């Protein structure tokens, strides 16, 4: 690979691809969980109103455990925490299997809490990927790890459908047992993964020492850049989660369950397939344009959502929603990685993912109330204000850097 091509498409270590596989297992668990949690919860709950409590407890567990997991990574290393997460996943699978077999709602809730603890650890795979690469490769490393979701988009529904009814076992019990198998596979990946061996720098106060530089030579306030990064990742996640759930509520009245499943699968593929090229897009056009394109696509999704709902309109909205989420999520992660010094990275990554988890939780809780109060069309119109805010933040707050300059300044900003 010649020098010019290496600058645009930097080589990634084998460890990055192992993390991509680990992320695929993580997201496979997430897809299985969202597929079966409400159904099983409704079967075991004393009241239909409690059906989504286990799934809600999973989101709450992610939110509560994310920052402590990041701090433990700083103290003990990422590999130890990732391994612990895999062990918790195995326990979650066993608890879920027993819960379904015995008809215990309490055990089912405990299983989802444990699953949330695992997810809180596993969500840092994308940041672990940037520990071992040169600054110009950070965006592509995050993109490759997030691309593991492509496998999950196909494997998750297939596993849930294959295992939901198996003679000799309680319905859906083997779906939970699959978590334990995926946990063992994660342990094997962590045994093969070789993270950076250099000792972590001492923790630093929450401040930024080296600003990113714009084309005009004026420094970019890294505090502002990190704030924009968190807004992009969390805001995009909030919109994606809320509108995806609302779309499923809309489709139950206009198409079959099979057609709804196909639409959700298209949406999930739109979320993750672009990750194979998102890093290259960032290298070519820069983070500012990439993030603005993400909010533009999210806004386009809401434009479709403001039309009279039909199956084609909802599928188009979900596809654009997935594409926009990918650019804001990957781009936001890359912007954060480029503007946080090594000695502060665990703290700020923990803050970032805690905010994302909180917004994802809101995105899971608000769809039904908003649908009841505003309806599908007005919800989309109201939420478009977040896209406008994101576009303005990126336009006014990020430098108009050329791709080459962006890559060079990324290297400067990543140093303590």
**Which residues touch 381 (CB under 8 Å, ≥6 apart)?**
302, 306
pLDDT at 278: 84
For residue range 165-184, list pLDDT tens digits in order.
Answer: 899 999 989 999 999 999 99
For residue range 99-108, list pLDDT tens digits in order.
Answer: 999 999 999 9
pLDDT(216) > 70: no
**H runs (alpha helix) in 193-308:** 222-251, 257-272, 275-285, 287-305
For residue range 25-51, list pLDDT tens digits in order.
Answer: 998 998 888 778 878 888 898 887 677
pLDDT at 132: 63
The pTM of this model reads: 0.72
Q: Which two tokens stand for residue 182?
A: 């995926």
Per the listing, tokens 């460890």 go with: 15
Backbone angles phi, psi at 220, to 5 degrees: -95, 125
Helix, strand, coil percentages, rounded to 5, for the chain? 80, 0, 20
For residue range 299-312, list pLDDT tens digits in order.
Answer: 999 999 888 889 99
Nearest CA to 135 among 394, 342, 344, 398?
A: 342
Query: What is the pLDDT confidence band of residue 74, given thresholds at 50, 70 and 90?
Result: confident
Q: Which two tokens stand for residue 103?
A: 């008809």
> In whole angstroms, how far apart are CA 290 and each of 32, 140, 297, 389, 390?
31, 13, 11, 15, 12
């Amino acid at each position: 690979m010649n020098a010019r091509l290496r600058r645009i498409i930097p080589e990634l270590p084998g460890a990055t691809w192992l993390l991509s596989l680990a992320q695929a297992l993580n997201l496979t668990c997430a897809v299985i969980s969202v597929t079966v949690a409400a159904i099983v919860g409704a079967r075991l709950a004393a009241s239909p109103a409690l059906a989504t409590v286990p799934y809600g407890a999973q989101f709450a567990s992610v939110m509560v455990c994310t920052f402590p997991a990041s701090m433990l990574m700083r103290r003990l290393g990422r590999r130890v925490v990732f391994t612990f997460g895999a062990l918790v996943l195995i326990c979650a699978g066993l608890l879920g299997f027993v819960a379904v077999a015995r008809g215990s709602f309490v055990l089912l809730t405990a299983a989802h809490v444990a699953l949330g603890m695992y997810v809180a650890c596993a969500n840092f795979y994308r940041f672990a990927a940037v520990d071992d690469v040169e600054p110009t490769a950070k965006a592509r490393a995050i993109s490759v790890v997030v691309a593991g979701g492509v496998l999950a988009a196909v494997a998750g529904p297939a596993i849930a459908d294959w295992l939901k009814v198996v003679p000799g076992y309680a319905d859906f019990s083997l779906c939970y047992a699959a978590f334990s198998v995926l946990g063992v596979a994660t342990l094997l990946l962590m045994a093969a993964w070789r993270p950076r061996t250099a000792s972590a720098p001492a923790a630093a106060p929450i401040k930024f020492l080296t600003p990113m530089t714009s084309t005009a030579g004026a420094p970019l306030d890294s505090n502002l850049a990190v704030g924009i990064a968190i807004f992009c990742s969390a805001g995009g996640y909030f919109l994606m989660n809320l509108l995806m759930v609302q779309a499923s509520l809309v489709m139950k009245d206009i198409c079959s369950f099979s057609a709804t499943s196909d639409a959700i699968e298209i949406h999930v593929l739109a979320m993750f397939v672009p990750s194979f090229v998102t890093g290259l897009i960032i290298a070519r056009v820069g983070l500012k344009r990439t993030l603005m394109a993400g909010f533009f696509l999210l806004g386009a999704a809401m434009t479709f959502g403001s039309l009279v709902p039909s199956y084609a309109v909802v599928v188009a909205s979900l596809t654009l929603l997935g594409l926009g989420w990918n650019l804001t999520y990957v781009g936001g992660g890359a912007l954060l990685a480029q503007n946080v010094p090594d000695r502060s990275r665990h703290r700020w990554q923990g803050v970032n993912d805690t905010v994302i988890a909180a917004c994802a939780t809101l995105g899971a809780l608000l769809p039904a109330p908003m649908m009841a109060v505003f309806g599908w069309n007005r919800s989309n119109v109201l939420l478009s204000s977040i896209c406008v805010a994101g576009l303005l933040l990126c336009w006014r707050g990020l430098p108009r850097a050329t791709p080459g300059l962006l890559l060079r300044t990324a290297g400067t900003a990543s140093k303590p």
